């Protein structure tokens, strides 16, 4: 339903009121028809804005219609020009703003459903739209695009400005007196913005009809259709406070979880280190195998512990020989180099360390050449 109005000021000047939500109360098609009708009769058109924003593409179409008009089109921000309404405001030959009004700029946002490629396509489209809107603000203010992006298009931030601030940023040309406008004080990522934009579309001349639409929106909070603005504002603030408290609780729990995880990891690493070091000390594995068993124990401690516990500590051959009977000693004394390799290769390696001369003698006898 069209909710903007036309009024003739004098023989040369007319006014169009963009009071409502872009794409809902105000469509580009209706605006195009209205603009065409009055462009043939008036040379100057004042577009008066009181809007919380709305559809990006509907807003871009309205922006282009104004920019391409053969008439002199001046913009008057009477109450609020937020989100896409602030982009439309940039289309005027001159931009005037009530000293009590507010301007709000932020990055475009949207939602999507579907497969991963569909979501990536939406994200790419939002990035592209962000660049286009940034270019509009840059063109108006004379800033470089990167400067405009830094000033106005910080993701997750709603950039609210009063008339004096907007004038200082060269977003408007002049300030005029006007009605007092109440704006939300919160500029975080919470959906106060969406709630405010919806509520802000109430036009005093069509309040009863719009309140029916608003009732659908506020029904999700279990509020009555005839809730007063103060009650709605209080409920929005309560929802925000609850949301903020929940976020604080989540942050606190995440901190505690990280502390617990860090301690658990430190304890696990200590158990792994103690297990592997003990295995080396007990002679179950050589030092060169520490890294392999550490990796195994890190991945599956119970399996590594079971495997290491099942191992017998290695005893060097000279210790084994000292503990064996004379018959065993006599038998080993008769072994050839080949016998050692087949029956006790670890003992042969230990002999190489503990009794190199005996090792060389056996080697020479086996291969007929001196061991070097």
- Secondary structure (DSSP) of 296-358: HHHH-HHHHHHHHHHSPPP--HHHHHHHS-HHHHHHHHT--HHHHHHH-HHHHHHHHHH-HHH
Q: Which residue has the higher pLDDT, 200 or 41?
A: 41
Are the C-beta atoms of residues 287 and 280 closer than 8 Å to each other?
yes
What is the per-residue pLDDT for 140? 92
We report the CATH number of the domain holding residue 170 as 3.90.226.10
Greater pLDDT, 183 or 330: 330
Taking CB atoms within 8 Å and a gap of at least 24, the contacts of 138-146 are 139/90, 140/90, 140/170, 140/171, 141/169, 141/170, 141/171, 142/170
Please report the pLDDT score of residue 235 as a whole number: 80
Task: Tell me, yes or no, whether 372 lies in a domain.
Answer: no
Q: Residue 217: inside a domain, yes or no? A: no
- pLDDT-derived band at 222 (thresholds 50, 70, 90) equals confident
40 and 183: one domain? yes
pLDDT of residue 204: 37
Residue 1 belongs to a domain: no
Q: For residue 188, name the pLDDT band (cuts at 50, 70, 90).
A: very low
Q: Are residues 240 and 192 in the same domain?
A: no
Q: What is the mean predicted confidence (pLDDT) over 52-64?
A: 91
Any domain includes 166:
yes
pLDDT at res. 311: 83
User: Looking at the domain assignment, is residue 98 inside a domain?
Assistant: yes
**Active-site amino acid positions:** 83, 106
- The structure tokens 């794409």 sit at 23
The pLDDT value given to residue 191: 46
Query: Do 295 and 329 share a domain, yes or no?
Result: no
Q: Is 291 in contact with 299 (CB distance < 8 Å)?
A: no
Phi, psi of 318 (to 5 degrees): -70, -30
Range of the domain at 155: 6-198
Same structural domain, 182 and 303: no
- Do 355 and 301 sit in the same domain of this protein? no
**29 and 86 belong to one structural domain:** yes
Give percent of the chain above pLDDT 90.
Answer: 27
77 has which bridge partners?
A: 49, 97
Query: Which pLDDT tens digit goes with each residue over 320-364?
Result: 555 554 556 668 888 988 888 888 888 888 888 778 888 888 888
The answer to whether 62 and 31 are in contact (CB under 8 A) is: yes
Give pLDDT, residue 42. Answer: 92
Helix spans in 142-168 (H): 145-152, 163-168
The confidence score (pLDDT) of residue 226 equals 67
In a domain, 223, yes or no: no
Question: Are 114 and 162 within one domain?
Answer: yes
Regarding whether 284 and 345 lie in a shared domain, the answer is no
Q: What percent of the chain has pLDDT over 70?
A: 80
- Of the three residues 147, 177, 198, the one that is the final residue of a domain is 198
Q: Is residue 259 part of a domain?
A: yes
Confidence at residue 81, expressed as pLDDT on a 0 to 100 scale: 93
Answer yes or no: is 97 within a domain: yes
Does residue 277 carry a pLDDT above 80? yes
Both 54 and 172 in one domain: the answer is yes
Angle between helices 301-310 and 290-299 (to 10 degrees): 130
* Count of domains for the chain: 3
């Amino acid at each position: 339903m069209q909710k903007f109005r036309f009024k003739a000021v004098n023989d040369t000047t007319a006014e169009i009121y963009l009071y409502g939500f872009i794409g809902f109360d105000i469509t580009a098609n209706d605006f195009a028809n209205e603009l065409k009708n009055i462009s043939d009769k008036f040379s100057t058109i004042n577009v008066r804005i009181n809007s919380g924003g709305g559809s990006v593409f509907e807003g871009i179409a309205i922006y282009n219609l104004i920019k391409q008009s053969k008439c002199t089109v001046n913009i008057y921000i009477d109450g609020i020009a937020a989100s896409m309404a602030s982009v439309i405001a940039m289309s005027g030959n001159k931009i005037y703003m009530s000293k009590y009004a507010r301007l709000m700029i932020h990055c475009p946002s949207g939602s999507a459903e579907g497969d991963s490629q569909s979501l990536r396509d939406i994200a790419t489209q939002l990035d592209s739209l962000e660049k286009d809107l940034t270019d509009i603000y840059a063109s108006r203010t004379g800033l470089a695009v990167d400067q405009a992006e830094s000033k106005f298009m910080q993701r997750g931030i709603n950039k609210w400005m009063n008339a004096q601030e907007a004038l200082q940023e060269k977003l408007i040309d002049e300030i005029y007196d006007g009605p007092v406008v109440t704006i939300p004080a919160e500029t975080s990522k919470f959906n106060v913005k969406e709630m405010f934009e919806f509520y802000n579309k109430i036009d005093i001349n069509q309040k009863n009809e719009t309140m029916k639409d608003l009732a659908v929106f506020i029904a999700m909070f279990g509020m009555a259709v005839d809730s007063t603005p103060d009650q709605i504002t209080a409920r929005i603030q309560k929802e925000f406070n609850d949301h903020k408290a929940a976020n604080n609780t989540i942050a606190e729990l995440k901190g505690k979880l990280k502390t617990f995880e860090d301690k658990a990891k430190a304890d696990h690493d200590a158990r792994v280190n103690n297990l592997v070091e003990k295995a080396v000390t007990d002679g179950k594995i050589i030092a060169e195998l520490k890294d392999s068993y550490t990796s195994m124990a890190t991945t599956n401690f119970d399996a590594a512990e079971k495997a290491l516990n099942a191992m017998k500590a290695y005893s060097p051959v000279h210790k084994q020989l000292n503990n064996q009977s004379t018959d065993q000693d006599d038998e080993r004394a008769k072994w050839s180099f080949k016998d050692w390799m087949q029956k006790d290769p670890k003992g042969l390696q230990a002999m190489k360390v503990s009794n190199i001369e005996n090792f060389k003698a056996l080697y020479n006898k086996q291969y007929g050449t001196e061991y070097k």
